[in-house]
């Protein structure tokens, strides 16, 4: 893996933007660019767990942000061309191509929203890589989240209300940045949505739900513990609720942990 020279990296990233309006040429040049920074010790293998695995160049951390930064002006000024470039990049089943595609999606003017929402939903449905899923939601919806918070919140509610698990995953991952920033205020509604997702059989969304519970436990420990306790009591003999409580115990301070342990011993 070659050493990173910031000035050279910037020049290379700027040169790449010359092909931004020609997606095919950009992809060709991007392959060559990534190949120059590839970690050869990983090139013979693949990344990602569990299978199916995704090919990756394994470039150093500063490389991808440098390219995304130089594409920002193009993405902002030429929305449709930028979306075409993002689609072409996404079509390549390579980690760095898909990460750049999500970065471009998060840079374009959000309106009309449907173009952003459809890509997020389609890309998540096609992705088995958790890193990519989280990047799609966090990076790909950056401007939508920042510039149109009410519409963003409405979309989260729609995603969490869906009957499809992969759509629920989008909603759960979309709410995390708001919780972390303290900008999500409708905690009771979120609790209602989580309760629906947690009941019944152990949900395939368990990892995503635990991620939300961890943030909630840090910000509102007593309220979150009470929510879990009440959900457990109202659910009756539901092993899934007990599983969530056990797995989330370490997220809480001692007093809340004591309460939750008492709830578990009521079985």
The confidence score (pLDDT) of residue 4 equals 85
Average pLDDT over residues 145-161: 93
CA distance linking residue 174 with residue 147, whole number of Å? 15
The CA distance from 18 to 175, in Å, is 36
Report the pLDDT averaged over residues 146-169: 92
Query: Dmax of the chain from CA atoms?
Result: 65
Residue 23 vs residue 185, higher pLDDT: 23
135: nearest Cα among 178, 95, 162, 85: 95
**91-137 tens-digit pLDDT:** 999 999 999 999 999 999 999 999 999 999 999 998 878 889 999 99
Determine how many CB atoms are found less than 10 A away from the CB of residue 53: 15
Other CB atoms within 10 A of residue 72 CB? 16
Residues in CB range of 142: below 8 A, 6 or more apart: 106, 107
Q: Give the whole-angstrom CA distance, residue 169 versus residue 197.
A: 10
Count of residues for the chain? Answer: 267
List of residues 6+ apart from 51 with CB closer than 8 A: 128
Distance from CA of residue 164 to its chain's centroid?
A: 17
> Which has more confidence, 64 or 239?
64
Cα separation, 246 vs 16, whole angstroms: 50
What pLDDT, on the 0 to 100 scale, is given for residue 75? 97
Closest by Cα among 151, 147, 157, 56 to 106: 147
pTM of the predicted structure, to 2 decimals? 0.86
Q: What is the DSSP letter of 250?
A: G
pLDDT reported for residue 198: 87
Residue 47 forms beta bridges with which residues? 54
């Amino acid at each position: 893996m070659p050493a990173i020279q910031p000035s050279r990296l910037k020049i290379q990233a700027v040169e790449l933007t010359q092909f931004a309006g020609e997606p095919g040429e950009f992809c060709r040049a991007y392959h060559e660019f990534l190949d120059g920074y590839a970690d050869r010790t990983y090139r013979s293998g693949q990344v990602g767990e569990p299978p199916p695995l995704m090919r990756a160049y394994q470039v150093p951390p500063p490389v991808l942000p440098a390219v995304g930064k130089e594409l920002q002006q193009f993405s902002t000024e030429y929305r449709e061309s930028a979306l075409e470039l993002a689609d072409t990049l996404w079509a390549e089943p390579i980690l760095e191509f898909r990460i750049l595609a999500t970065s471009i999606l998060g840079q374009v003017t959000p309106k009309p929203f449907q173009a952003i929402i459809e890509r997020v939903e389609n890309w998540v449905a096609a992705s088995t890589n958790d890193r990519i899923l989280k990047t799609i939601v966090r990076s790909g919806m950056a401007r939508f989240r920042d510039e149109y918070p009410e519409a963003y919140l409405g979309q989260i509610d729609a995603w969490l209300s869906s009957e499809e698990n992969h759509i629920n995953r989008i909603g759960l991952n979309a709410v995390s940045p708001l919780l972390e920033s303290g900008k999500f205020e409708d905690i009771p509604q979120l609790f209602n949505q989580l309760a629906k997702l947690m009941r019944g059989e152990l949900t395939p969304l368990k990892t995503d739900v635990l991620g939300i519970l961890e943030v909630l436990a840090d910000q509102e420990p007593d309220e979150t513990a009470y929510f879990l306790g009440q959900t457990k009591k109202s659910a009756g003999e539901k092993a899934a609720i007990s599983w969530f409580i056990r797995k989330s115990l370490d997220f809480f301070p001692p007093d809340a942990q004591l309460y939750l342990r008492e709830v578990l011993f009521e079985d």
